[in-house]
Amino acid sequence: MKKGVSYTVDIELGLDGSITEAQCECAAGMGPQAHCKHVNTVLYGAVMFCKKMTVKTEESCTQKLQSFHKCKKFIESPIKANALDMPGAAELTNIDFDPRPEEFRNAANYQDHFRNVCLNFPGISEMPIFQTFEPANTKAVALDHDYLKLTPEENFLERILVTKISSAVVVDIEKKNIRSKY
């Protein structure tokens, strides 16, 4: 019900006291034979006025807007989760969810073992865990493998044939690039 909305109700009574016509401005009360709650309320008020000679002017229970589905305002400060009094919670919080066997838990070299297993797994670069490992130090790799004939950088360049490009291949590449521009 909308608060503050009032409807004009017209009721025509016959000489014998019967209702000949009734209409209201609300959607249900249109037409000469209206029987909406507004018409009923006016008729009830008229009957009560004839019996008691007074008009009831206080609000009815349906005039107030519903408030039972509205939350009450919380004015206290929130309680911290660790201060909540929950019986039986202590047993649930002491559960150890580590699925590893007892002898492998809290091992000193577990982090290194886990990192090595992840890095040696094929296709690890698409897995999110890979983002947690810091990248390899390429300078340290070159210094660690000083027993090789070439450095790792030179090996890579040789493998992709960058170091063995002839002048004829350079001219070919330039021609292809010029053609692709136009």
Q: Percent of the chain beyond pLDDT 70? A: 93
The angle at the Cα of 110, spanning 105 to 114, to the nearest 5 degrees, equals 120
What is the value of pTM for the model shown? Answer: 0.33
CB atoms closer than 10 angstroms to residue 95: 6
Enter the tokens of residue 161: 């044939």
Give the DSSP letter of residue 146.
Answer: T
User: In whole angstroms, what is the distance from residue 6 CA to residue 92 CA?
Assistant: 59
Q: What is the pLDDT of residue 134?
A: 84
Enter the tokens of residue 36: 């909406």
- Bridge partners (DSSP) listed for residue 21: 12
Lowest-confidence range among 9-18, 63-72, 167-176? 63-72
Q: What is the pLDDT of residue 124?
A: 66
**Mean pLDDT of the region 14-34:** 85
User: In whole angstroms, what is the distance from residue 140 CA to residue 121 CA?
Assistant: 23
Amino acid identity of residue 87, one-letter, is P
C-alpha 58 chain-centroid distance: 46
